Amino acid sequence: MRCPYCSSNESQVKDSRPSEDGAAIRRRRHCPDCGGRFTTFERVQLRELIVLKKSGKRVPFDRDKLARSVAIAVRKRPVDPERLERMMSSIVRQLESLGETEITSDLIGEHVMEGLRVLDDVAYVRFASVYRNFREARDFEELLGELSSEDEDPGKDDNDNGKITAGNRDGASD
Ligand SMILES: [Zn+2]
């Protein structure tokens, strides 16, 4: 595994243990060339996914890229990183289980919103506001209204019910 700091190919595994309830192997790595430390996760990939973007462009699904946009939404929020990882795994597994090679960026966004809604209200609103591309304050108020009317989401670890919020207000944005 190439070192993300100095690009050396000499990184060594210091420790490896199961993570996310055994769904992943977490490896702590150390780079002897620059002293950098980083962590990698090994996971099962059930199938290759292609993302169909609103622009019509197709790109390979990139879990890390999605994780980065989610990380921005949860920044400085009290969200357990392990739970966040589990949420990401759950989303990817759900997408893989659809049986389609091609999935829309809209659908991915809806899944992330569903997951964040359970984890953290603020992160959810942050993600949703970017994803839904709010143009009017009214949209925001509507969303906050949705939140206050749903205190508990029963879908905790059972996200397999296909429940997706059909709240895409402006399909025209990209
Ligand atoms: Zn290095």
Distance 6 CA to ligand 1 centre (A): 4
What's the order of all strands across the beta sheet hosting 102-104? 58-60, 50-52, 102-104
Domain limits, the chain: 10-44, 45-153
- Residues around the ion ligand 1 (C-beta < 5 A): 3, 5-6, 8, 31, 33-34, 36
Query: In terms of pTM, does the model score above 0.95?
Result: no
- Res 171: pLDDT: 43
Q: Amino acid letter at 29? A: R
Distance 14 CA to ligand 1 centre (A): 14
The C-alpha angle 133, 95, 123, rounded to 5 degrees, equals 40
- Provide the residue-wise pLDDT of the chain in tens; the chain has 174 residues: 889 899 999 899 999 998 877 778 999 999 999 999 999 988 877 678 899 988 899 999 998 889 988 999 999 999 998 899 999 989 998 888 887 889 998 899 999 999 999 999 999 998 888 877 654 445 556 666 666 665 544 444 444 444 444 444 444 444
Distance 65 CA to ligand 1 centre (A): 22
- Res 155: pLDDT: 45
- Res 170: pLDDT: 45
- Res 31: pLDDT: 94
